[in-house]
Amino acid sequence: MDRREQIDEFESMFRRSEREPFVFADLPIRSVAVVTGDESNESVQAALKRFLPRIGDVVDWRAIGSDDYSSVAELLERIGSDPVDLLVTRRHLQEEFLSPQHSLGVYLDELTQRTLVPVLVLPGTAGTPVPLPTEPCRRVMVVADHISGDHRLINYGVRMCSEGGSVWLCHIEDDDVFRRYVSAIERIPEIATEPAEELLSSQLLKEAGDFIESCFQTLKETGPDVVLESEVGMGHHLTEYRRLIDEHTIGLLVANTKDDGQMAMHGMAYSLSVELTDVPMLLL
């Protein structure tokens, strides 16, 4: 082993010992804006209070109906001029006549990307709304393709869960992407494929596992009364998340949508929110 390799080995060892400790924050949700089309705002508010009891301390409910805006710019200006802590809306707002199936609709798309406010997407679409469950949400699933260090995502997941409920922290490494790298390694004679594959896979999952472990510790000491569960593994994002939602009867999905490198929504979040229309989602 030459000197450069030795330096690299020790650097890796020290980087491996770096931990990202989870920082719990009880996020304030005091004002909520419910953005609807023709749907009754009051009934949505009532359903929300039942479904998410921990937002019961909201003192400022704002109703934004179809008469209050006629374009995306108008809606964004209205929200921007009087900020709230949470937006609630549905897919395909004002697009009922288009009967779209493979998109979120322009309003939801823009709301998630042009504001920093979390958006709670109600199940179904504006044209064919699906009512929220009448029972309080006791199972929240937080999904990410890189969960380590995502404090905000987890804190929102915890914030939305009813007292005594469960929050599932899930990290699925996309095995298609992983296979692609392994097939590249297979073509490099200087790298032994089998150990490289094993080490890479275990390191990717270990980072997520370590961070989730830190969440367990922190929430146990300082967090609210929720039970944390975790699922860390490899697979196809959509297939795995759909399986987990069904398996654990998840009531609310929490995901990131922003991507620093692009204006459009984060790839995984987009596919989840387009395909899983029957599950309420909190998009950050």
- Rule CB under 8 A: which residues touch another protein? 1, 3-4, 6-7, 10-11, 13-21
Minimum Å gap between C-beta 31 and another protein is 30
- Provide, rounded to whole angstroms, the least separation between the CB of residue 77 and another protein: 37
CB of 211 to another protein, least distance (A): 11
- The residue among 212, 258, 1, 235 whose CA lies nearest residue 118 is 258
Comparing CB distances to another protein, the nearer of 10 and 97 is 10
In the complex, what is the shortest distance from the CB of residue 23 to another protein, in angstroms, rounded to a whole number? 9
Residue 15 vs 220, nearer CB to another protein: 15
Q: Distances in Å between the alpha carbon of 213 and those of 138, 216, 232, 266?
A: 21, 5, 11, 26
Comparing CB distances to another protein, the nearer of 4 and 187 is 4
**In a 3-state reduction of DSSP, which class is residue 146?**
coil
Backbone dihedral angles phi then psi of residue 148, each to the nearest 5 degrees: -55, 125
Of the pair 103, 217, the CB lying nearest another protein is at 217
C-alpha torsion sign, points 236, 238, 242, 244: positive
**Residue with smaller CB distance to another protein, 12 or 70:** 12
Q: Which is nearer to another protein, 21 or 83 (CB)?
A: 21
Contacts of 5 (CB under 8 A, 6+ apart): none
CB of 24 to another protein, least distance (A): 14
Q: Which two tokens stand for residue 252?
A: 């609310």
CB of 194 to another protein, least distance (A): 17
Q: How far is the CB of 4 from another protein (least distance, A)?
A: 6
Nearer to another protein, 13 or 116 (CB): 13
Sheet containing 166-174, strands listed edge to edge, beginning at the edge strand earlier in sequence: 60-64, 31-35, 86-91, 119-125, 281-283, 252-255, 139-144, 166-174, 227-235
Contact indicator for 256, 269 with CB cutoff of 8 Å: yes
Of 18 and 67, the one with the shorter C-beta distance to another protein is 18
CA distances from 237 to 177, 233, 268 (A): 11, 10, 7
Q: What's the rounded Cα separation, in Å, for the pair 15 and 71?
A: 49
Amino acid at 50: R
The 10 Å Cβ neighbour count of residue 3 is: 7
Q: How far is the CB of 222 from another protein (least distance, A)?
A: 15
